[in-house]
């Protein structure tokens, strides 16, 4: 739980345990609990797959239609473009704020991470408005004699919104890695005649590769999953098409087929990443020594400051200015309290349930490592990487076909959130459990407490910090969740995210201001803790 990455949306390879755990006997209740956790995670996907297979020829004709081919090309193209953009910007911001001698680089480091608190659909909304006819940017450019801009909607808008949303992942992961890389390497390269850029390319970049791969993977997965930004930008990606099919047609086979293809796409990317990781040589973490900053020429320094400034301006200042502007312009504060309350309570419920579910998962994976427990962990993490809309659609099929009365009830909605976000809780719990010496638990057994009692009296209290951090993450991501909520919410139930979405899809941007700002403020709290903590280390 010390890595900033752990608080983002990445499954983590955690630190090595103090000694290899020797499991002794795995108590049966752990498996029972794990089965309870695993069923809602896996069952919907099985139902989805069954639905697709059951559709037979219809499924084939959807899968091999020209439209599906176009969606595939568009989606892959957007993913590649966003990932590249995020890698370039994130690596640059990381290097400038960690290794350069730029003034105020710590402040910059926080500033450029700030877009993390803004959901992609809010960003899309803000960009649409700012570059629109009455927008802030258009207005500002008015002085230059420009009175209208071509619409940002479409591929460029989707790309921009998603790059801004995802480059902070790369920034944080690369920053953490850069802090661990021996600064002496750069010095050595420089003394051997390399320019700063050449030194970075030859001495630093190879060591940064695993971190960049991790950051790039996050950006790619995020882009494939994103529903809000591509929909508002009217860019035809898989997620948008799935929703359109789901909404517009009684026959849900096409939606199911598209969801299945999207899932396959994600699995392919995960496999590629796994392969490349096997080959790559990971850097060895070193004890930190006083980092030496790389001196830049004044001209470069000016350029670098300008770059960081623009990134911060577009990624954070602009959205806040636009949202606050809307808020001030509207006569009444248009916050739907029922939506805020709805967001709050389902998020708290999802967080609590995820924390409870994380306990058996973490204990099994850390203390009772076996093929079975590792497979379970993988399954949970895989679902985490899947696009929410695909999982939500699968849950719809499961609920409609097998859960009758529960369909469109809160239980299904909250269980879906847990299925989607469980790795955030279990990963954090696992991280803190790995820090606990297993002999502490053995001591409890030796002193007469059963396996179950030991988990209650020793294990859970000791990993409570990690559990709480994981719970906070689940809370946060649930607050921002959009597509699964749209598909599964009970009739008449609103969340802040749904509110923003409805306002935006009807073009009533002003109505989205208050819920969007509230969402940003709520997200900012854990993000603040995360950033300050990464500096304490």
The binding site for another protein (CB under 8 A) comprises 22, 24-25, 437, 439-440, 442-451, 458, 461-462
Say whether 100 sits in a helix, a strand or coil: strand
The DSSP bridge partners found for residue 294 are 100
Q: Give min distance, CB of 446 to another protein, in A.
A: 4
Which residue, 252 or 445, has its beta carbon nearer to another protein? 445
* CA gap 283, 131 in Å, rounded: 43
Say whether 500 sits in a helix, a strand or coil: helix
Which alpha helices (DSSP H) does 237-336 contain, by range? 238-248, 253-279, 298-312, 318-329
* CA gap 77, 139 in Å, rounded: 32
Which residue, 21 or 526, has its beta carbon nearer to another protein? 21
Which residue, 24 or 490, has its beta carbon nearer to another protein? 24
Q: Give min distance, CB of 439 to another protein, in A.
A: 4
Q: Give min distance, CB of 282 to another protein, in A.
A: 25
**DSSP state letters, 104-145:** THHHHHHHHHGGGGS-HHHHHHHHHHHTSTT-HHHHHHHTTT
* CA gap 442, 384 in Å, rounded: 33
Neighbouring CB atoms inside 10 A of 64's CB total 10
Does residue 293 come out as left (phi exceeding 0), alpha (psi in the -120 to 50 range) or beta? beta
Q: Give min distance, CB of 467 to another protein, in A.
A: 13
Q: Give min distance, CB of 366 to another protein, in A.
A: 15
Which residue, 19 or 329, has its beta carbon nearer to another protein? 19
Nearest by Cα to 95 from 184, 197, 8: 197
Tell me if 239 sits within 8 A of 386, measured CB to CB: no
Which residue, 16 or 25, has its beta carbon nearer to another protein? 25
Q: Give min distance, CB of 377 to another protein, in A.
A: 22
Which residue, 83 or 459, has its beta carbon nearer to another protein? 459
Which residue, 20 or 404, has its beta carbon nearer to another protein? 20
* CA gap 200, 378 in Å, rounded: 35
Which residue, 321 or 460, has its beta carbon nearer to another protein? 460
Q: Give min distance, CB of 436 to another protein, in A.
A: 8
* CA gap 244, 261 in Å, rounded: 16
**DSSP state letters, 377-411:** HHHHHHHHHS-HHHHHHHHHHHIIIIIGGGTTSHH
Q: Give min distance, CB of 367 to another protein, in A.
A: 11
Q: What are phi and psi of 70, to 5 degrees?
A: -65, -45
Q: Give min distance, CB of 27 to another protein, in A.
A: 9
Q: Give min distance, CB of 425 to another protein, in A.
A: 20
Which residue, 68 or 432, has its beta carbon nearer to another protein? 432
Tell me if 100 sits within 8 A of 297, measured CB to CB: no
Tell me if 459 sits within 8 A of 32, measured CB to CB: no
The DSSP bridge partners found for residue 100 are 294
Tell me if 484 sits within 8 A of 389, measured CB to CB: yes
Which residue, 292 or 439, has its beta carbon nearer to another protein? 439
**Which residues fall within 8 angstroms of residue 323, CB to CB, at 6 or more apart?**
122, 126, 513, 516, 517, 520
Which residue, 277 or 449, has its beta carbon nearer to another protein? 449
Q: Give min distance, CB of 60 to another protein, in A.
A: 48
Q: Give min distance, CB of 441 to another protein, in A.
A: 8
The alpha carbon of 84 is separated from its chain's Cα centroid by a whole number of angstroms, namely 17
Which residue, 459 or 495, has its beta carbon nearer to another protein? 459
Q: Give min distance, CB of 471 to another protein, in A.
A: 18
Tell me if 127 sits within 8 A of 158, measured CB to CB: no
Which residue, 140 or 372, has its beta carbon nearer to another protein? 372
Say whether 285 sits in a helix, a strand or coil: coil
């Amino acid at each position: 739980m010390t890595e900033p990455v752990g608080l983002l949306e990445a499954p983590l390879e955690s630190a090595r345990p103090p000694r290899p755990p020797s499991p002794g006997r795995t108590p049966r209740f752990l498996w029972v609990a794990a089965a309870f956790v695993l069923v809602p995670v896996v069952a919907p996907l099985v139902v989805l797959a069954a639905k697709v297979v059951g559709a037979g020829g219809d499924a084939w004709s959807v899968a091999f239609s020209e439209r599906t081919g176009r969606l595939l090309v568009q989606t892959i193209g957007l993913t590649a473009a966003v990932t590249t953009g995020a890698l370039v910007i994130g690596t640059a911001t990381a290097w400038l704020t960690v290794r350069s001698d730029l003034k105020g680089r710590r402040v910059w480091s926080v500033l450029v991470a700030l877009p993390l608190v803004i959901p992609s659909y809010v960003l899309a909304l803000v960009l649409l408005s700012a570059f629109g006819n009455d927008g802030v940017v258009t207005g500002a450019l008015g002085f230059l004699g420009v009175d209208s801009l071509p619409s940002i909607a479409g591929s460029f808008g989707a790309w921009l919104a998603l790059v801004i949303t995802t480059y902070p992942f790369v920034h944080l992961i690369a920053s953490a890695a850069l802090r661990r890389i021996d600064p002496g390497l750069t010095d050595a390269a420089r003394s051997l005649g390399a320019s700063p850029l050449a030194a970075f390319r030859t001495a630093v970049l190879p060591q940064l590769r695993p971190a960049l791969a991790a950051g790039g993977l996050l950006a790619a997965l995020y882009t494939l999953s994103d529903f809000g930004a591509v929909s508002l930008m009217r860019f035809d990606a898989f997620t948008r098409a799935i929703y359109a099919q789901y909404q517009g047609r009684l026959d849900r086979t096409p939606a199911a087929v598209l969801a299945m293809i999207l899932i396959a796409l994600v699995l392919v990317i995960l496999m590629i990443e796994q392969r490349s990781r096997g080959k790559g040589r990971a850097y060895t973490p070193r004890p930190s020594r006083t980092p030496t900053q790389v001196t830049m020429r004044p001209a470069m320094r000016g350029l670098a400051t300008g770059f960081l400034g623009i990134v911060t301006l577009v990624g954070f200042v602009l959205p806040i200015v636009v949202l606050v502007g809307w808020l001030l312009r509207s006569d009444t504060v248009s916050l739907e309290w029922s939506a805020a309350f709805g967001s709050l309570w389902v998020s708290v419920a999802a967080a609590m349930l995820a924390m409870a579910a994380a306990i058996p998962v973490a204990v099994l994976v850390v203390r009772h490592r076996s093929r079975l427990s590792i497979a379970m962990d993988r399954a949970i993490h895989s679902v985490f990487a899947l696009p929410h809309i695909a999982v939500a659609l699968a849950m719809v099929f499961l609920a409609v076909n097998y859960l009758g009365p529960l369909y469109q009830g809160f239980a299904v909605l909250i269980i879906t959130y847990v299925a989607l976000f469980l790795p955030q809780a279990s990963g954090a719990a696992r991280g803190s459990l790995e820090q606990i010496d297993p002999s502490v638990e053995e001591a409890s057994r030796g002193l007469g407490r059963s396996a179950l009692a030991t988990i209650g009296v020793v294990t859970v209290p000791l990993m409570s910090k990690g559990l709480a951090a994981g719970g906070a993450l689940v809370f946060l991501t649930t607050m921002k969740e959009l597509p699964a909520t749209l598909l599964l919410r009970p009739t008449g139930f609103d969340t802040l995210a749904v509110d923003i979405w409805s306002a935006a899809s009807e073009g009533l941007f002003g109505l989205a201001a208050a819920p969007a700002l509230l969402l940003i403020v709520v997200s900012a709290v854990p993000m603040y803790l995360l950033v300050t903590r990464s500096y304490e280390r």
